[in-house]
Chains A and B, each alone.
Chain A
Amino acid sequence: MQVESFQYDNKTVRNFAIATIIWGVVGMTVGLWVALQLVFPTTLNLQPFFSFGRIRPLHTNAVIFAFVGNGIFMGVYYSLQRLLKARMYSDLLSKIHFWGWQLIIVAAAITLPLGISTAKEYAELEWPIDIAITLIWVVFGWNMFATIIKRRERHLYVAIWFYIATFVTVAVLHLVNSFELPISLFKSYTWYAGVQDALVQWWYGHNAVAFFLTTPYLGLMYYFMPKAANRPVFSYKLSIIHFWALIFLYIWAGPHHLLYTALPNWAQSLGVVFSFMLIFPSWGGMINGLLTLRGAWDRVREDVILKFMVVAVTAYGMSTFEGPMLSLKSINAVAHYTDWIVAHVHVGGLGWNGMLTFGILYWLIPRMYKTSLYSNKLANAHFWLATLGILFYAIPMYWAGWQQASMWKQFTPTGQLKYQFLETVTYMRPFYAMRSLGGLLYLTGAILGMVNLFKTIGKGTLVANEDAEAPALEATHEKHKGEHWHRWIERKPTLMLVMSLIVILIGGAVEMIPTFLVKSNVPTISSVKPYTPLELQGRDIYVREGCYTCHSQMIRPFRSETERYGEYSKAGEFVYDHPFQWGSKRTGPDLAREGAGNNKKSNAWHFNHLDEPSAISTGSVMPSYAFLIDHELDTATTASKIKAMQTLGVPYATGYAEIANKELMDQAKLITANLKQDGIEVGSNKEIISVIAYLQRLGTDINKK
């Protein structure tokens, strides 16, 4: 058998590693900033570009796609080459992948503060960037598959299955969820409306957690943990069950983000059942990871890399226990919309993704630079700061979540709600401060890590092309007696891809197709009418400012909610909402019926409240939107927006686009005349007027005769 000499590409891995470190620190810094905005709302909300609603998506996108994203590629490019005994297929594709991904991140960092956003959580980037993501993802997949095809190792180790499933599922999720109709370079409307948009979005959102934050990192765990512990994975057979069960079950679980909402009940129930079952493969994986260290636990005391990995896998176990529990309807009724969920995602993000990333970095960088780690002491300090940071973050948020939920739900003996919403907000502020301290500790650790890793880079020299040798793969493989069919799949990567694709499509299809096709799933309400042009423009400003990051528009059928907010929300009320704005967190109150019933306020109240929220509601953490009073509404877009809505099936009369701006101005004048009666002088062409019009419209349709 002829032995071939070749070289591993370490340069691309190094580039992704540096990007991971830098974007990690940037993303966490923005995270600390948004956390502090809730403690010091007036000083830290630098309007309009750096308000909470605009930079909270910047934080989530940065840590998910920039920090973890680069971490995935770093780990995949390192492990894939070695597991396949082959250099990456094309240096050019690697380069395009690296720089393309960084450009996308920069584009996100510019557009999100500018308010260019689709307002779909973790998919906020507008359509040109969506296209760029698609292209770069294809480059990644192409490079990966071409490498798999020219490999020198016949077997595909389980880590590679996880990478393949990641590639194919993220591609499907991104394409389906980004289906949108552009109306200009920086604005589009999602193709789906209301309930359907919600289902697609949370099918995406949940599986972004599954297939971006989990499956690729499980692949990394299955490669780097054995490496760091210098012993093979505890049970390879368990890893196979883990893989197939996880990808089969995960894709169904999305509706658990929409429990008690206007989503059809059968879809909610499917989401609950599958979410609960997920605990089995998840814990199988966690146990497999931890037991890989059997007989090496003494080394965990000394080896900082193993410490990071143990905490990572433990955090994975905790958040995947909590996930199924939170999916039970009775627990979800308490936890949803509260800070409990924020604690949950940070145990996953800071614990599982963060700690595993740093563990891998500390292992990888010294090896690629043929040197030792600059300072073990510093790495240990990082470990303890990060671990304490997670605790200081999570514990106050768990407490806050419980407290919030119980305050929202309490009644007095005479049957009145015990607390005003504002009281729950002011009660939260000390917890927000403690959480910020947790974030600060974690960030300080990450900065120490950055210094340590850069010092390590400084004292070593990069082995950009690492020499390796392996025998060439025989062109034909003789099937030996008794060989199993799965062996056959494992040797055929394309088949593996197709199988993974089929497995992940089943769940999504079962939930989505009936919601789109069976009419009775979204009962229409005849009094629900399309938004007026002014309201539509106001709604787009609501979207631009990221109001959904703090306000839900979905009243669940609980007495505590119907008493506070009014009649519970119906599926038919959202049929013209592109995108849906149900939200996922109530830092502020629900706005689904802001314009109806007891919630209705005067135009002047809204004007003064948007101008300076804390002047109207003492202790409010909402930033000032005074700039809406100065900004002129861009009415040049009205006609194209109405036409786009018509394309999407919103029943405006033919030719309505042409008269829309006249109607817009008529309605605006009514509002300004009304404001004038309250002594407020403002031009009808200002953005604030359209926002007031939109808020006053919310939830009113079902009461119309």
Chain B
Amino acid sequence: MFSFIKKYTETMEHSTIYPIFSLLVFVVFFVGVLWYVKVMDKKEVDTIKNLPLEN
């Protein structure tokens, strides 16, 4: 499936680490954002949310 990438990467040593690393960057990034959003302090969210309506 990834023959078009393999051609370039198989000449590098330990090339299998690159796709795994890319996948990790993705997963960590999005899990990080989702997790952060989940644990946000509700009171603080309400304060920020209402900032545009203050003046």
Chain A interface residues (CB < 8 Å from chain B): 79, 82-83, 85, 153, 155, 157-159, 222-223, 226-227, 230-233, 236-237, 240-241, 244-245, 248, 264-266, 269, 468, 482-487, 506, 514, 518, 520-521
Asked whether, in the complex, the Cβ of A237 is within 8 Å of the Cβ of B37, the reply is yes
B39 at the interface (CB under 8 A from A): yes
Min CB distance B49 to A, Å, is 4
Asked whether, in the complex, the Cβ of B8 is within 8 Å of the Cβ of A245, the reply is no
B29-55 contact mask (Cβ, 8 Å, vs A): 1 or 0: 110011011011100110111111111
Min CB distance B30 to A, Å, is 7
Find chain B residues with CB under 8 A from A222 CB: 52
Of A226, A265, A266, A485, the contact of B52 (CB 8 Å cutoff): A226
Count CB-based A-B contacts (< 8 Å): 71
Complex Cα distance, B4 from A269, in Å, reads 10
Additional A-B contacts beyond A227-B53, A232-B52, A236-B45 (11; CB < 8 A): A79-B52, A83-B52, A155-B51, A157-B52, A236-B48, A244-B33, A266-B5, A483-B41, A487-B44, A518-B8, A520-B8
Min CB distance A197 to B, Å, is 21
Closest B residue, CB atoms, query A267: B4
Asked whether, in the complex, the Cβ of B33 is within 8 Å of the Cβ of A241, the reply is yes
Min CB distance A523 to B, Å, is 12
Find chain B residues with CB under 8 A from A264 CB: 4
Asked whether, in the complex, the Cβ of A266 is within 8 Å of the Cβ of B4, the reply is yes
Find chain B residues with CB under 8 A from A83 CB: 51-52
Number of chain B interface residues as a range = 20 to 34
Asked whether, in the complex, the Cβ of A226 is within 8 Å of the Cβ of B37, the reply is no
Task: List 5 tightest A-B contacts by C-beta distance, closest first.
Answer: A232-B49, A236-B49, A237-B37, A266-B4, A157-B51
Complex Cα distance, B37 from A157, in Å, reads 15
Closest B residue, CB atoms, query A239: B49
Min CB distance A356 to B, Å, is 15
Asked whether, in the complex, the Cβ of B4 is within 8 Å of the Cβ of A248, the reply is no
A155-B48, A248-B29 as given contacts; A240 in contact with B37, CB under 8 Å:
yes
Find chain B residues with CB under 8 A from A521 CB: 8
**Can you list 7 contacts pairing A with B, beta carbon distance less than 8 Å?**
A83-B52, A232-B52, A236-B49, A237-B45, A266-B4, A484-B39, A485-B36
Specify which of B7, B41, B49, B52 lies most central, judged by the most chain A CB atoms within 10 Å of its CB. Answer: B52
Asked whether, in the complex, the Cβ of A468 is within 8 Å of the Cβ of B53, the reply is no
Find chain B residues with CB under 8 A from A245 CB: 30, 33
Complex Cα distance, B53 from A155, in Å, reads 14
Asked whether, in the complex, the Cβ of A241 is within 8 Å of the Cβ of B34, the reply is yes
Closest B residue, CB atoms, query A503: B29
Min CB distance B21 to A, Å, is 11
Min CB distance B7 to A, Å, is 8
Find chain B residues with CB under 8 A from A468 CB: 55
Find chain A residues with CB under 8 A from B41 CB: 482-484
Find chain A residues with CB under 8 A from B7 CB: 520
Min CB distance B11 to A, Å, is 10
Min CB distance A469 to B, Å, is 9
Min CB distance A160 to B, Å, is 10
Min CB distance A56 to B, Å, is 35
Min CB distance B27 to A, Å, is 12
Complex Cα distance, B8 from A521, in Å, reads 9
Min CB distance B40 to A, Å, is 6
Asked whether, in the complex, the Cβ of A265 is within 8 Å of the Cβ of B4, the reply is yes
Find chain A residues with CB under 8 A from B39 CB: 484
Asked whether, in the complex, the Cβ of B36 is within 8 Å of the Cβ of A486, the reply is yes
Closest B residue, CB atoms, query A521: B8
Min CB distance A364 to B, Å, is 14
Closest B residue, CB atoms, query A240: B37
Complex Cα distance, B33 from A237, in Å, reads 10
Asked whether, in the complex, the Cβ of B40 is within 8 Å of the Cβ of A484, the reply is yes
Complex Cα distance, B49 from A85, in Å, reads 15
A82-B55, A230-B53, A520-B8 as given contacts; A484 in contact with B36, CB under 8 Å:
yes
Complex Cα distance, B8 from A265, in Å, reads 12
Closest A residue, CB atoms, query B6: A266
Complex Cα distance, B26 from A165, in Å, reads 19
Closest B residue, CB atoms, query A155: B48
Min CB distance A649 to B, Å, is 23
Min CB distance B48 to A, Å, is 5
Min CB distance A484 to B, Å, is 6
Of B33, B34, B47, B52, the contact of A227 (CB 8 Å cutoff): B52
Closest A residue, CB atoms, query B39: A484
Min CB distance A180 to B, Å, is 29
Closest B residue, CB atoms, query A158: B48
Asked whether, in the complex, the Cβ of A157 is within 8 Å of the Cβ of B8, the reply is no
A226-B53, A230-B53, A514-B8 as given contacts; A237 in contact with B48, CB under 8 Å:
no
Specify which of A83, A241, A266 lies most central, judged by the most chain B CB atoms within 10 Å of its CB. Answer: A266
Complex Cα distance, B26 from A286, in Å, reads 23
A237-B40, A484-B39, A484-B40 as given contacts; A223 in contact with B34, CB under 8 Å:
no
Complex Cα distance, B5 from A265, in Å, reads 9
Min CB distance B43 to A, Å, is 11
Asked whether, in the complex, the Cβ of B47 is within 8 Å of the Cβ of A233, the reply is no
Of B25, B34, B37, B51, the contact of A153 (CB 8 Å cutoff): B51
Find chain A residues with CB under 8 A from B51 CB: 83, 153, 155, 157
Find chain B residues with CB under 8 A from A82 CB: 52, 54-55
Complex Cα distance, B18 from A514, in Å, reads 14
Find chain B residues with CB under 8 A from A232 CB: 49-50, 52-53
Closest B residue, CB atoms, query A520: B8
Min CB distance A236 to B, Å, is 4
Find chain A residues with CB under 8 A from B5 CB: 266
